[in-house]
Structure 1
Amino acid sequence: MSLDPLKPFRDEVESATKAAFQAMGADVRFEIEVPATGVADFAVPCFPLAKALRKAPPAIAEEAASKLPRMEMASKAWAERGYLNFKVDEKKLSRSTLTEIMKEKENYGKGAHRKEKVLLEHTSVNPTGPIHVGRARNPIIGDTLARCMRACGYDVTTEYYVNDVGKQVVILTWGLDHLSPSDVDIVDDSEKADHRLVAYYRKANEMMENDKEVEKQVGHMLRRFEDGDEEVIEKVRKTAKLMLDGIIESLDTINVAIDQFTWESTFIKDGSAHRVVEELKRSEHCKEDKGACYLELEPFGVHGRDTKFFFTRADGTTLYTTRDMAYHLNKFERADRLINILGEDQKLGQTQLAIALKLLGKERAPEVLFYSFVSLPEGRMSTRKGVVVHLDDLIEEAEARALEEVKKRRTDLSEEKMRDIARAIGRGAVRYNIVRVQPEKPLVFKWEDALNFEGNSAPFVQYAHARACSILRKAGEFGRDLDPEVLTNEYEVKLIKALARYPSVISEAGDKARIHVLPAYAHEVAAAFNQFYTYVPVLKGEENRDARLALVDATRLVLANALTTLGLSAPEEM
């Protein structure tokens, strides 16, 4: 477990502030903030205390400042505009921060192991076609959250729920059984199955809509599937597996790896979906509509057209919602905590699911992180398909654009080396640009943001890491027996304070599922490092050379840790 260099300072601020308020005759709750301006390192806003203390916030802050006990970790405390402000002892912070980073290296910022088992479901797109840009946020958010939670010490397993039961995948299976390549119009020249087989689905779906016999055959397959027919289930699963392999290949390009896959058909084969149906039928809230069973949810606060939550069709077959309930009952047995990453269009469904699970006797419900979908500006990106932009297209164009930028900047590299760098930049740009925006906020993916070498982007952070590596290569060996307290220059101190915040940022990202704070932090460190090496002579100056090189090395380690946790590569050369 890595120690948080800022914790002793924060703990002292909390203890001293509490003592000051108690000396004023008030035992009140208060918040400690980290001001963005940098004027103070910690601040206690006194505005929320005005009613309890019956004083104006500036007066509260002034009196509290006068009653603070002697502090060893803070160099200064003062009241200003209703805030009680604190400055840390910068020499002590420099020593504790650099010592901890150099000791822990790649483990810096990581929390102690927790016994709690977390099952995090993400991606789970239907295996009937490639992932499109609109849904690309799901795997990137899910994978980044899993990385942040693991860094916090959680035991996290990521899972993909494979929909191999739905009508779409059955239609595709029928198409593969009955159509030859000459029967379909394959417009995608990709060799990947998830692109190539879409043409079979389109043709089969068209035939089903226009031919009663085809519709009958597909319906018969669906019925056999629902009845647990092993032959049909295996045939459909084989089709889903073909598509899934292509999807997994796409995920691999953005460094998303999934620990395990659970197949929806499992809950038909093992009878658990039908057990859910039988149990829900016994509920007083179960009703029927032309043979189809549903739960009436109006008593639970659901209103309008959404009060009927169907869990069987008129013919008695189960629905996706039914199997999803069986799946969650299964997940409850395997983990202490469930997290689902879902699009904002699933909010009603998750409310209905939570109510149904309660009726099944479960007081638990999955935690859900909802995200808004990704869109592209009109006409800003060409695609072979013309209608839908797939994740594969986005990655391909990102790498091509990154290669153009690399060629402008590095004429001294081989073509292979330039392509390696472009691959790291392009793929990193896609992940970073998607995760830097809070999940619930809409995101318009713009190339000028994603590949901006000077802005809040992956290339900017990756370049800072590469610059740190370059400085260390040029410096060669340097003394490690140094005194971090000599680093008193304003740019040195600003960078050290940024490095000291990494454990608390990781905690916020993983414990509170606020993953967007991590790219913001990485950009802050990269910007502080740029100022440092611009204004402070590291290689040319002899004064404090070893300590400054140690600061460069510490920055390299923190940037590498942040990039890795974001799922990005940390290139040593750009």
Structure 2
Amino acid sequence: MFPDFEREVKDCLREGVEKVEENGDIPINPHDKIADISSTVSFKVAKRDKKDPRDVAEDILKHLIAIKERYYLIGKIDAVGPYLNFYTSKKFLSETLKKVLSEREEYGSLHYRGTILLEHTSANPDGPIHIGHIRNSIIGDSLGRILKKAGYDVEIQYYVNDMGRQVAVVAWGMERFALDQDKKIDHGISKIYAGANKLLGADAFRKEEVDSLLKRFEDGDGVTIKRFDNLVSRCLEGIRSTLDGMNISVDKFVRESQFVFNGDVNSIISSLKDERYAYYEDGALMMDLGEFGFEKDFVVTRGDGTSLYPTRDLAYHAWKSERCDRMIDILGADHKLISSQLKVILKILGYKEPEIVIFEFVSLPEGSMSTRMGKFISVDELLEKTEEQAYLEVDKRRKDLNEEEKRKISKFISIGAVRYDIVKISPDKATTFNWRDALDFEKRGSPYIQYAHTRACSILNKGGSYDEPDLDLLREEQEIKLIKKISRFPLAVKEATKDLRPNIIATYARELAEQFGQFYKDIPVLNAPNGLKNARLALVDAFRIVVNNVLQLLGIHAPKYM
């Protein structure tokens, strides 16, 4: 509903300001701390006319008041110094609730159109995904959900590096170490990978064996391809299981090797050879991108003519470019340089450029991780530990529940805690995951938001149905504040979509739960007179609908009790 109010404000300003200036560019701020929307248009006019912006604001205000009645969502308009302030009307409040109660799970949906291929996670198939990968997965999954809510047709892809040396190391290690059948398959593969790396050490002869294995794969040897395919598929089974456990889904696993074997990589190399930026150094094909501000040149092929991972990534993006309107990649900060070079080269070749969401890394208080040496905290272990801690809290609070119910609640609390604690931080900021903070109800993370949903469910369960509520009865300050916060959900979706920042939705979720908490504290619902009780039950239901929709975008369960 808020976007409708936003449009009315812009239209009203445009009509009013046209009497003062020709230019229809209207600056507004939907996040003003005092007004529902403010505008600084008076500064712009004052600069042109060499007048005091406060006088200009008063002049514009007169025109706005004269035409305000034509805009039914706008209530009061005033000027505070040079700022023009707009406030929603009573009609806006009731229309917001009607819209939520009518649209329900569709509330907050936008009407953008187009196809998007969004790539996230894409961890190497040499072991389980760990805490270093999970921020990629959570940002990517949440963003995919938001973009779908905005109206886009989104396909989630996981790019599988099945031609990397690490896969050859695992294949080599499988001949020398027994797979631990007691471990989850991706964990067993990780153990072999770590053992193989330790055995390889500085042994040049053994490293040549790995290189030979990789060469046979790249040359299309059927037996070797089958070996690689089998171990990669098995590792991906474990990875998919972990992602499923985090409510993260992938539509398509796309293998790097397909672009080598189908000739796409060679086509890219042939195209790059003909570009004026191309040159050879010791037999290696290079791209001089100095013209585009890069000090480091892009290596297309090795000296022996074989392709490198970035070149195969180019082929993947060229393939994607022809199958969508937009490409979005979720990449770690260590990919800044290569992703920037990739965008430039795709542009040179005439393909779409991907939109890159770069994230800084998440860590644990315990320190750093290395898959190669087997020193890491897997997501499976992280979830297990977080679930154990959640269980202690649930067991303390809910002695009335049986063991199965306690475990069920502990599971969805732990998943929500991990997801929210990671997604709430802007991707461009590093973060440390602390399970104590993530599970703390007082820290206003996922458990706090989930609990707000259960409170609303409890009120509605006790209050029963509400027939034809008179929404105009909702006049208390906390009622109005809650309705206004509910109205801003579509705006949050719009801004998160525009900026590709799922943390905007996480922030909105917390603010919405906080506002409901204040309402819950100050406003009686079940003991209110019948007419008012009905209206307040409708408001609680509207909150429940919206917080459920918000949690869905974050991949977090909205429980009826906990």
TM above 0.5, one fold?
Answer: yes
- The AA in structure 2 aligned to 1:77 is I
Counterparts of 1:79 and 1:19, CA distance in 2: 17
1:231 alignment counterpart: 223
Which of 524, 537, 547 is matched with 2:524 structurally? 537
Out of 135, 138, 163, the residue aligned to residue 136 of structure 2 is 138
The whole-number CA distance in structure 2 between the counterparts of 1:8 and 1:277 is 50
CA distance in 2 between counterparts of 1:240 and 1:48 reads: 60
Mapped partners of 1:423, 1:190: distance in 2: 23
Q: Distance in 2 between matches of 1:238 and 1:460?
A: 44
Distance 1:49 1:447, change over 3 A: farther
**189-198 or 424-433: bigger deviation:** 189-198
Cα distance change, pair 301–251 in 1 and its aligned pair in 2 (3 A): same
Mark the CA change 1:414 to 1:440 in structure 2 (over 3 Å): closer, same or farther: same
SS in 2 for 1:369: strand
CA distance in 2: counterparts of 1:49 and 1:129, whole angstroms:
61
Deviation at 1:113, TM superposition (A): 6.1
Tell me the SS of whatever aligns to 2:154: strand
* Residue 474 of structure 1: aligned partner: 462
Q: In the alignment, is the contact (CA less than 8 A) between 1:26 and 1:53 conserved in 2?
A: no
Tell me how far 1:234 sits from its aligned partner: 2.2
Amino acid at match of 2:29: E
Per-residue CA deviations over 1:392-424 (Å, capped at 9, x if unaligned) read 222112111111111222111111111111111
Contact 2:418–2:435 (CA under 8 A) maintained in structure 1 = no
Q: Deviations over 1:44-66 (max 9, x none)?
A: 12445542242233222222112
Corresponding residue number in structure 1 for 2:56: 60
Structure 1 residues 210 and 13, CA, compared in 2 at 3 Å: closer, same or farther?
Answer: closer
Greater alpha carbon shift after TM alignment, 456-465 vs 62-71: 62-71
Within 5 Å, give how 1:100-499 maps onto structure 2: 100-112=99-111, 114=113, 116-180=114-178, 191-303=183-295, 306=296, 308-359=297-348, 361-378=349-366, 387-476=375-464, 478-499=465-486
Distance 1:447 1:175 in 2: 35
In the alignment, structure 1 segments of 5+ residues that lack a partner are: none
CA–CA distance in structure 1, aligned partners of residues 51 and 17 of structure 2: 13
**CA shift in 2, pair 1:293/1:113, >3 Å:** closer
Q: Which whole-Å CA distance do the structure 2 matches of 1:117 and 1:227 have between them?
A: 35
Q: How many residues align?
A: 553
Secondary structure of the residue that 1:339 maps to in structure 2? strand
SS at match of 1:70: helix
Say which of 4, 10, 17 aligns to 2:6: 10
Distance in 2 between residues matched to 1:155 and 1:214, nearest whole Å: 48
**Root mean square deviation of aligned Cα:** 2.1
Deviation at 1:25, TM superposition (A): 4.0
Alpha-carbon distance between aligned partners in 1 of 2:436 and 2:43, rounded to the nearest angstrom: 41
- On the 8 A contact 1:233/1:265 being kept in 2, the answer is no
Q: Per-residue deviation at 1:230?
A: 2.6
Contact 1:492–1:532 (8 Å) recurs in 2: yes
Match of 2:47 in 1: 51
Distance 2:44 2:246 in 1: 45
Question: 1:214 Cα deviation (Å)?
Answer: 2.5
Cα deviation digits, residues 270-298 of structure 1 (max 9, x gap): 12112222222233322222222211222
- Aligned with 1:178: secondary structure? coil
Q: Which amino acid aligns with 1:78?
A: D
CA distance in 1, matches of 2:21, 2:350: 46
- Uncovered stretches (5+) of structure 2, i.e. residues with no partner: none
Deviates more, 1:273-282 or 1:499-508: 273-282
Per the TM alignment, residue 34 of structure 1 is displaced from its structure 2 partner at its CA by 2.3
Q: Give the direction of change, closer, same or farther, for the CA distance of 1:14–1:129 in structure 2 (3 Å limit).
A: same
CA distance in 2 between counterparts of 1:42 and 1:86 reads 5
The aligned residue for residue 522 of structure 1 is: 509
Range that drifts further, 9-18 or 243-252: 9-18
**Partner Cα separation in structure 1 for residue 229 and residue 368 of structure 2:** 37
Partner amino acid for 2:83? Y
- Say whether the 8 Å CA contact 1:128–1:169 is kept in structure 2: yes
Question: How much does 1:428 deviate?
Answer: 0.2
Aligned equivalents of 1:438 and 1:536: distance in 2? 34
Shift of 1:237: 1.7
What letter corresponds to residue 86 of structure 2 in structure 1?
F
